C-alpha cells in the first residue's frame, strides 16, 4: 500500500504572502518612477516580493534550469518530428553545449541540470549524475497500454519531490523548468484534454520538432485512443500519470508541487511542463500561485492548460524548440522586475551611487581599446 497521498499537498501549500504583496504595492506607489509605467514588470515585482516574503525584493542571483528527460513509447506511431527513442541525442547536445538551451544558459550564466527519468538508451552512455534517477527505459505506448506501472509512477513522482528539495536546499531562488523528450507532447496533450474535458482535435499540435498533416492525424488518433484510457482514472492523479503520462511528467508533477511547498518560484516552459502543472493543480489548487508561464509555444494544449490555471505567458515569440528555451528567454524579464522592485528609489530618496567597475572587472577592460571580457556560467 502506497503511503503517498497527494491530497496532503492541499494543506502543505500556502499562497505567497498577501500582506507582503500589499506592502510591495504600497512601496511601488512611493517610487519616483510613475506607477504603471513599467507595465507587467510592476506586477512581477510584487509577486516576487510575496513569494520571497521580502520588501524590497531580493535579486534573483541563483536561478537554475532543470530539464526532465524521457522517451515516450507513443513516438513509435510516428507522431513526432524526431525518431522514436532519440531523446538521448537531445541530452548529449545540451551536455556538449551545442543546443539552444545550452547556448542561452551559458550566455546568461545559468547552470543547467538534466534529470533522466526514462531515456531509451544504455545508462552508461550518459554521465552518472544525469541517469541516477532513471525509473525505466522509455514508456509504454499510451494508446494501448499504461505508460508506467503504479510503482514506477510513484517512484518518479517522489524523485521529482526530492529534486525540488535539493534545489531549495542549495539556495536556488527561481527554477526554469523544461523537458528533453521525444513524443512528450502527445501524453501532455492527453493529460490536458482529459483534465479539461475536451476532444483530441482541440489539443493536438505540431510538437516542438514540427510534423506534417499526416503525422498530425496520426497524433490526433493516438490522443483520442489514449483519452479513452485516461477518463476512467481521472479521479486519481498518480493513476492518471501512470496510465497516459510518463516518468518525466510524473517527476515534473512531484517537482512542481514540492517547489510550491518549499516556496520556490518556477517558470514553466512548454506544453509538457504545462500539462504536469495542470495535474499538480488538480492535487493542490494553490500550487499555481508559485508558477509563471514563461512563453506561449503555440501548442493548443499548452494554451488550454494555462487558461485553466489562469497563467498568462510572459512572452510570445513563436519559439517551439522546447528544452526550456522559451522559459529561459523570460528569465531576464523576471530578473529585471526583481531589480526594479529592489533598486529603484522612492520619492525624495537619494539612490546609492553605482560603484565604477575596476579595470579588469566584468563591464570594463583593463585596456579601454579592448572590449570587456564576457563571462559565462
Domain assignment present for 39: no
Q: What CA dihedral angle connects 21, 23, 25 and 30, to 10 degrees?
A: -160
Q: What is the pLDDT of residues 154-180, one digit of tens each?
A: 999 999 999 999 999 999 999 999 999
The pLDDT value recorded for residue 221 is 96
Per-residue pLDDT at 11 exceeds 70: yes
The pLDDT value recorded for residue 370 is 38
Per-residue pLDDT at 282 exceeds 70: yes
Active site residue 373: no
Q: What is the pLDDT of residues 313-330, one digit of tens each?
A: 999 998 989 999 999 999
The pLDDT value recorded for residue 377 is 36
- C-alpha cell of 275? 500539462
- For residue 112, the SS3 value is strand
Per-residue pLDDT at 146 exceeds 80: yes
Q: Give residue 306's pLDDT band: very low, low, confident or very high (50, 70, 90).
A: very high
What span, in angstroms and rounded, lies between the C-alpha atoms of 192 and 304?
7
Q: What is the pLDDT of residues 331-360, one digit of tens each?
A: 999 999 999 999 988 886 655 555 554 444
Domain region containing 104? 63-330
What span, in angstroms and rounded, lies between the C-alpha atoms of 52 and 237?
29
DSSP assignment letter at 295: B
What span, in angstroms and rounded, lies between the C-alpha atoms of 134 and 159?
9
The pLDDT value recorded for residue 152 is 97
Long-range contacts from 306-309, C-beta under 8 angstroms, 24+ separation: 306/274, 308/195, 308/196, 308/278, 308/281, 309/274, 309/277, 309/278, 309/281
Total domains in the fold of the chain: 1
Share of the chain above pLDDT 90, in %: 81
Domain assignment present for 152: yes
Q: Give residue 245's pLDDT band: very low, low, confident or very high (50, 70, 90).
A: very high
Domain assignment present for 113: yes
Mean pLDDT of 135-148: 97
First to last CA, the chain: 44
Domain assignment present for 35: no
The pLDDT value recorded for residue 35 is 83
Residue ranges of alpha helices (H) inside 177-291 are 185-196, 200-203, 213-230, 237-244, 247-261, 271-283
The pLDDT value recorded for residue 81 is 87
Question: Which member of 43, 323, 361, 370 is catalytic?
Answer: 323
- Grid cell 553545449 is found at 97
Per-residue pLDDT at 366 exceeds 50: no
Helix H or strand E encompassing 89: helix 87-95
Domain assignment present for 121: yes
- Percent helix, strand and coil across the chain, each to the nearest 5: 50, 10, 40
The pLDDT value recorded for residue 10 is 94
Hey, which residues does 14 pair with through a beta bridge?
A: none
- For residue 261, the SS3 value is helix
The pLDDT value recorded for residue 345 is 86
Main-chain dihedrals φ then ψ at residue 292, nearest 5 degrees:
-120, 145
The pLDDT value recorded for residue 352 is 54
DSSP assignment letter at 324: T
The pLDDT value recorded for residue 329 is 97
Per-residue pLDDT at 91 exceeds 80: yes
Mean pLDDT of 50-55: 94
Domain assignment present for 56: no
Domain assignment present for 339: no
What span, in angstroms and rounded, lies between the C-alpha atoms of 353 and 375?
24
Domain assignment present for 270: yes
Mean pLDDT of 134-150: 97
Q: CB 7: neighbour CB atoms within 10 A?
A: 9
DSSP assignment letter at 366: S
Contacts of 368 (CB under 8 A, 6+ apart): none
**Can you give the CATH number for the domain in which 102 is found?**
3.40.50.10210
Helix H or strand E encompassing 94: helix 87-95
Amino acid at each position: 500500500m502506497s503511503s503517498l497521498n497527494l491530497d496532503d499537498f492541499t494543506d502543505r501549500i500556502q499562497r505567497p504572502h498577501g500582506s507582503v504583496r500589499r506592502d510591495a504595492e504600497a512601496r511601488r506607489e512611493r517610487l519616483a518612477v510613475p506607477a504603471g509605467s513599467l507595465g507587467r514588470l510592476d506586477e512581477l515585482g510584487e509577486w516576487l516580493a510575496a513569494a520571497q516574503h521580502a520588501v524590497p525584493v531580493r535579486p534573483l542571483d541563483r536561478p537554475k534550469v532543470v530539464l526532465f528527460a524521457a522517451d515516450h513509447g507513443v513516438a513509435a506511431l510516428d507522431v513526432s518530428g524526431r525518431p522514436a527513442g532519440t531523446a538521448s541525442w537531445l541530452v548529449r547536445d545540451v551536455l556538449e553545449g551545442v543546443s539552444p538551451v545550452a547556448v542561452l544558459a551559458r550566455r546568461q550564466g545559468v547552470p543547467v541540470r538534466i534529470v533522466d527519468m526514462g531515456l531509451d538508451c544504455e545508462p552508461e552512455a550518459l554521465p552518472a549524475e544525469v541517469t541516477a534517477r532513471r525509473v525505466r527505459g522509455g514508456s509504454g505506448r499510451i494508446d494501448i497500454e499504461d505508460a508506467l506501472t503504479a510503482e514506477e509512477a510513484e517512484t518518479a513522482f517522489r524523485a521529482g519531490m526530492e529534486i525540488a528539495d535539493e534545489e531549495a536546499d542549495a539556495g536556488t531562488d527561481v527554477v526554469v523548468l523544461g523537458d528533453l523528450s521525444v513524443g512528450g507532447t502527445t501524453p501532455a496533450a492527453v493529460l490536458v484534454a482529459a483534465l479539461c474535458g475536451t476532444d483530441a482535435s482541440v489539443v493536438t499540435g505540431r510538437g516542438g520538432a514540427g510534423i506534417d498533416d499526416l503525422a498530425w492525424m496520426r497524433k490526433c488518433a493516438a490522443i483520442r485512443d489514449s483519452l479513452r484510457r485516461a477518463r476512467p482514472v481521472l479521479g486519481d492523479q498518480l493513476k492518471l500519470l501512470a496510465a497516459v503520462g510518463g516518468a518525466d511528467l510524473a517527476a515534473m508533477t512531484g517537482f512542481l508541487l514540492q517547489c510550491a511547498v518549499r516556496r520556490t518560484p518556477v517558470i514553466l516552459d512548454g506544453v509538457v511542463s504545462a500539462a504536469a502543472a495542470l495535474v499538480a493543480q488538480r492535487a493542490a489548487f494553490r500550487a499555481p500561485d508559485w508558477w509563471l508561464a514563461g512563453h506561449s509555444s503555440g501548442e493548443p494544449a499548452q494554451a488550454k492548460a494555462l487558461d485553466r490555471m489562469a497563467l498568462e505567458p510572459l512572452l510570445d515569440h513563436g519559439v517551439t524548440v522546447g528544452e526550456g528555451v522559451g522559459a529561459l528567454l523570460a528569465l531576464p524579464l523576471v530578473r529585471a522586475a526583481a531589480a526594479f522592485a529592489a533598486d529603484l528609489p522612492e520619492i525624495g530618496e537619494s539612490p546609492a551611487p553605482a560603484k565604477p567597475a575596476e579595470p579588469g572587472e566584468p563591464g570594463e577592460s583593463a585596456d579601454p581599446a579592448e572590449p570587456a571580457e564576457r563571462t559565462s556560467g
